[in-house]
Amino acid sequence: MTRRHLLKRMFQMGVLVGFSQTLVSVAAKAAEKCKAAMLIDMSGKNKNPKNAEAVTIAKNLEYVEDVDKAIKTGTAKPKTNGENCSNCIQYNVTGADCGRCNMIPTEGMNVHANGWCKYWVKKPS
């Protein structure tokens, strides 16, 4: 085995180990449950100024925290079954049950994965 071949193999192994650690880290982050302090609280109980800002924007979007409950009560009217934040193009996963919405730019505030708003657009497959 030449030195060049040995160095090449060592580099490949280093990249492989680094990549696998990154995958484990991303999977662990996605498995985390969202903390209540980070989720938009539409009830108004959370007096955090960031939540108040996010709620103002969310109300204009007709955002609901749970689309299934909102359909039953008539407060949300999705065009098709299965519409929720988790399959919207504006949604970026940050935890197992929440994510960032590009339509609600308030830093540090997340929407519920099963939420919905009137600007829902299907995420491309």
Q: Where are the domains of the chain?
A: 1-31, 32-125
Q: CATH topology for 32-125?
A: High-Potential Iron-Sulfur Protein; Chain A (4.10.490)
Query: Residue 34: what residue type?
Result: C
DSSP-assigned beta bridge partners for residue 92: 100
Distance between CA atoms of residues 75 and 125, nearest Å: 28
Q: Residue 89 has what pLDDT? A: 97
Distance between CA atoms of residues 125 and 48, nearest Å: 36
Q: What is the DSSP string of 31-84?
A: HSPPPGGGB--TTS----HHHHHHHHHHHHTT-BS-HHHHHHHTS---SSTT--
Query: Residue 79: what residue type?
Result: K
The CA angle 77-123-80, to the nearest 5 degrees, is: 25
pTM over 0.95: no
Q: Please give the chain's pLDDT, 125 residues, in tens.
A: 787 776 667 666 664 455 445 544 544 454 467 776 689 999 989 889 999 999 999 999 999 999 999 999 999 999 999 999 999 999 999 888 899 999 999 999 999 999 999 999 999 98
Q: Residue 32 has what pLDDT? A: 60
